[in-house]
Amino acid sequence: MKKNYAAEPFRIKMVEPIRVTTKEERKILLKNAGYNPFSLRSEDVYIDLLTDSGTGAMSQDQWAALMRGDEAYAGSQSFFRLESVVKDITGYKYFMPVHQGRGAEQVVLPELTKKKGMYFISNTHFDTTRAHVELAGARAIDTVIEACFDVSTYHPFKGNFDLEKLEKVIREKGQENIAGIIMTITNNSAGGQPVSMENMKAVHKIAQSHHIPIIIDGARYAENSYFIKLREEGYQNIDIKDIARETFDLADIFLMSAKKDGLVNMGGIIAIKDDEQLYQSCRNRMVPYEGFPTYGGLSGRDMDALSVGLREALDFSYLEYRVDQVEYLGDRLIEAGVPVQYPIGGHAVFIECRRVAPHIPFDQFPALSFTNELYIEGGIRAVEIGSLLLGRDPDTKENLKAEMEMVRLTIPRRTYTYTHMDRIADAVIKVYERRKELKGYRFTYESPMLRHFTSSFEPIDKYEEI
């Protein structure tokens, strides 16, 4: 196990009490929630690892910034303060705030989908991105490298594009039918894995040769920049902010759920490098979907907190602690033999449940089974990132089979201690030790889109066939 993990570069000024329930209580609570962790009440969760989106703790400077919030409907001072920070970090000409990442997607992706039968290509589309691609009338294709699917083998940048696959898709579909290339950094569904600068440069070169715009899905762009500094030759002495700027130089559009590397509870970003026509069309679309372009679904105080959080997230000492805390949890699980995506990603530890529960078919959702058992064991809420999340083929309506059946243990920022990481590890290991007892699940209600959020389930006896 790695020694000398980075200490927290902060001290605690306020605490929030959390309730500990019994196993018997949790069995009832989970059943009442339709065996879907999303439907649990937060007061019934001891350690909440459902997401790192908007669940982190803000700094004293962010709380102070709230008091500056200008709540004017149009032309808010808070907007101009945030605009200045976004332009300084990205170097892009145009900026619009939105309420969160999916707000950015619903504004921009339809504007890029100019006709029926178009495609977006990504290293890996995350769930909401894939949904917004399909809502825009396009189709999503993933082209991540094969090393991503070998969870036990080290590769410094498992989030990378497979460049040959990328070129092949463009040839087969025709460059005129590619609405955009989406660089997801870090690559969430691949296990929070980073993308190298070398790979992004190669993708940029391919995109330019085919006249295809590049969109950065950059909810965790600062963490990706940290991994580049740590692992990629030639970047060890480069500031995080400068690595981020080099990244932005390789794209045309930046979409961000600022609830991650913006260190806020609500917020998102659309930034466009220099395409004035696209900016104007998105700006027009903003009004009915997100609100007036200088508030975009956010209050002034939200925007001021974000303007501070964006800068704090680029601080090296913060990022070092952030990534090390996640790695500490991952190392404990690796020591116990739990199969996790290795190396450990930036925001979460991903458990590969195809190896944990090979007796559960993909369409009985082995990762959901592990997730539910983890809640019963320790009151810990995690999330399934596998075939349940992937959903159904939009054309055939058949269940899609994910390459990996993952449980994501997502660590909120500046929220839990290393002792909490030990509690999580202890509970995961106990569930892993009785993994042969895990049972599959079937739907009692299946939501037609993004089904993992609102569907309900019941357990299946392990000998029963669907």
* Active-site residue, selected from the candidate residues 73, 80, 418, 445: 73
Asked whether the beta carbons of 353 and 367 are under 8 A apart, the reply is yes
Asked whether the beta carbons of 457 and 444 are under 8 A apart, the reply is yes
Task: Please report how many Cα atoms fall inside a 13 Å half-sphere around the Cα of residue 35, on the Cβ side.
Answer: 21
Strand partners, 270: 96, 255
- Where residue 462 falls among pLDDT bands split at 50, 70, 90? low
* Active-site residue, selected from the candidate residues 229, 347, 420, 452: 452
306: left (phi over 0), alpha (psi -120 to 50) or beta: alpha
Fold entry, domain 23-52+315-459: Aspartate Aminotransferase, domain 1 (3.90.1150)
Q: Report the Cα–Cα distance between both ends of the chain, in Å, rounded.
A: 42
Mean pLDDT value across the chain: 96
Q: Which two tokens stand for residue 97?
A: 């705030």
Segment 22-63, tens digit of pLDDT: 999 999 999 999 999 999 999 999 999 999 999 999 999 999
Segment 196-212, tens digit of pLDDT: 999 999 999 999 999 99
CA distance 200 to 207: 10
35: left (phi over 0), alpha (psi -120 to 50) or beta: left
The answer to whether 217 is a known catalytic residue is yes
Question: pLDDT at position 466, please?
Answer: 41
Assessment of whether the complete model's pTM goes beyond 0.75: yes
CATH of 60-312, one of 3.40.50.720, 3.40.640.10, 3.40.50.2300, 3.40.50.970: 3.40.640.10
* Active-site residue, selected from the candidate residues 127, 261, 304, 324: 127
Segment 219-260, tens digit of pLDDT: 999 999 999 999 999 999 999 999 999 999 999 999 999 999
* Active-site residue, selected from the candidate residues 190, 219, 271, 427: 219
Residue with tokens 């490098």: 273
Q: Which two tokens stand for residue 451?
A: 């089904």
* Active-site residue, selected from the candidate residues 52, 142, 217, 302: 217
- Residues sharing a CB contact under 8 Å with residue 311, sequence separation 6 or more, in sequence order: 85
The answer to whether 94 is a known catalytic residue is no
Strand partners, 408: 350, 383
Residue ranges per structural domain of the chain: 23-52+315-459, 60-312
Q: List alpha helices for 219-351, DSSP H.
A: 221-231, 240-248, 276-289, 300-312, 316-335
* Active-site residue, selected from the candidate residues 260, 273, 347, 420: 260
Residue 206: CB atoms within 10 Å: 18
The answer to whether 260 is a known catalytic residue is yes
* Active-site residue, selected from the candidate residues 95, 126, 318, 350: 126
The answer to whether 219 is a known catalytic residue is yes
